[in-house]
């Protein structure tokens, strides 16, 4: 006994059209969190080796390391994934523990501004070292 073809369970067509109820959105957040996580697996292992290799290195060596194209590209991708993944995680923490609506909304907006700023700053820093070469010293 279904009200429309293809009906599953007790959902009305309006409910199906409007979608996801109190969760507001679908699996977008969940999925992006997994995608950035998968990207961060090799990137973070690579980053550990990069930092380990640069331990007690002087400023010129650090600049030279960042300015290597492969390192620069990986650092840019790492920065983007790191801040993106971190923002998605912090968003859930805010949603879970901040129960005052205006404060929750303020924190979430501030989080997005902060994460975007942080990621952009990292990317610009890497680009400036990469593109100006090692002319700083």
Binding interface with other proteins (CB under 8 A): 34, 37-38, 41, 44-45, 48, 52, 55-56, 59, 62-63, 66, 75, 79, 82-83, 86, 89-90, 93, 99-101, 118, 121-122, 124-126, 128-129, 136-137
**Backbone phi and psi for residue 58, each to the nearest 5 degrees, phi listed first:** -75, 170
Q: Which is nearer to other proteins, 5 or 52 (CB)?
A: 52
Residue 98, token pair as written in the block: 């901040």
Residues 6+ apart with CB under 8 A from 104: 94, 95, 98
Query: Is the CB of 16 or the CB of 105 nearer to other proteins?
Result: 105
Instruction: Report the alpha-carbon distance of residue 121 to residue 115 in Å, rounded.
Output: 10
Tell me how far, at minimum, the Cβ of 3 lies from other proteins, in Å: 32
Cβ partners under 8 Å of residue 98, min gap 6: 104, 107
Name which of 16 and 45 has its Cβ closer to other proteins.
Answer: 45
């Amino acid at each position: 006994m279904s009200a429309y073809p293809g009906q599953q369970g007790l959902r009305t067509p309006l409910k199906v059209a409007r979608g996801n109820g109190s969760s507001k959105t679908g699996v977008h957040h969940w999925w992006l969190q997994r995608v950035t996580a998968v990207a961060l697996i090799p990137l973070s292992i690579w980053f550990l080796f990069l930092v380990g290799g640069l331990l007690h290195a002087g400023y010129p060596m650090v600049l030279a390391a960042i300015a290597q194209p492969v390192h620069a590209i990986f650092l840019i991708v790492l920065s983007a994934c790191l801040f993106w993944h971190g923002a998605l995680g912090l968003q859930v923490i805010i949603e879970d523990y901040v129960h005052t609506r205006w404060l929750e909304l303020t924190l979430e907006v501030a989080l997005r501004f902060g994460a975007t700023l942080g990621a952009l700053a990292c990317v610009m820093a890497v680009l400036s070292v990469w593109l100006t070469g090692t002319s700083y010293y």
